[in-house]
Copies of this chain bind each other. A is one copy, B any other.
Amino acid sequence: MVVMEEFKHFVIVKFKEGVEVEDLTKGMEKLVSEIDVVKSFEWGQDIESLDVLRQGFTHAFLMTFNKKEDFAEFQSHPNHVEFSEKFSAAIEKIVLLDFPSTLVKKPA
């Protein structure tokens, strides 16, 4: 079954040395809990892939929205704007992808 219905905001980062990563992940969990248009939020720290494939990136953050307009609402939300400043100051490098997703196998 292929459905196209969601909009994804994917971020991978390498944090600067000395950054309290847990403060940031807790802050992000709080942020998404405050903003209703965030449909789901998952994150993790790489523990498995080879260095050459990870390329220094350590954390992934995956947000799902029902539609692009909801993502736009999230982006312009004052809490997100405020958090983004704090987050940006803590990262050494980042890649960010935003796109409508094609779901091929649906989670049970």
Contacts and interface: CB of A to CB of B under 8 A. Distances in A.
A41 B104 contact: yes
A44 B107 CA distance: 17
Contact of A99 (B33, B45, B95, B99): B45
Q: Chain A at the B interface: mostly helix, strand, loop or mixed?
A: strand
B95 A40 contact: no
Given A44-B8, A68-B48, A38 B98 contact: no
A10 interface: yes
Instruction: State the oligomeric state as a number of copies.
Output: 2
Interface string A71-108: 10000000000000000000000111111111111111
A12 B95 contact: yes
Contact residues on A (Cβ < 8 Å of other chain), bracket: 35 or more
Given A25-B102, A46-B98, A62-B62, 16 more contacts: A2-B29, A10-B10, A10-B62, A32-B104, A38-B105, A39-B105, A39-B108, A40-B106, A42-B101, A43-B101, A44-B101, A46-B99, A47-B100, A48-B99, A53-B96, A60-B99
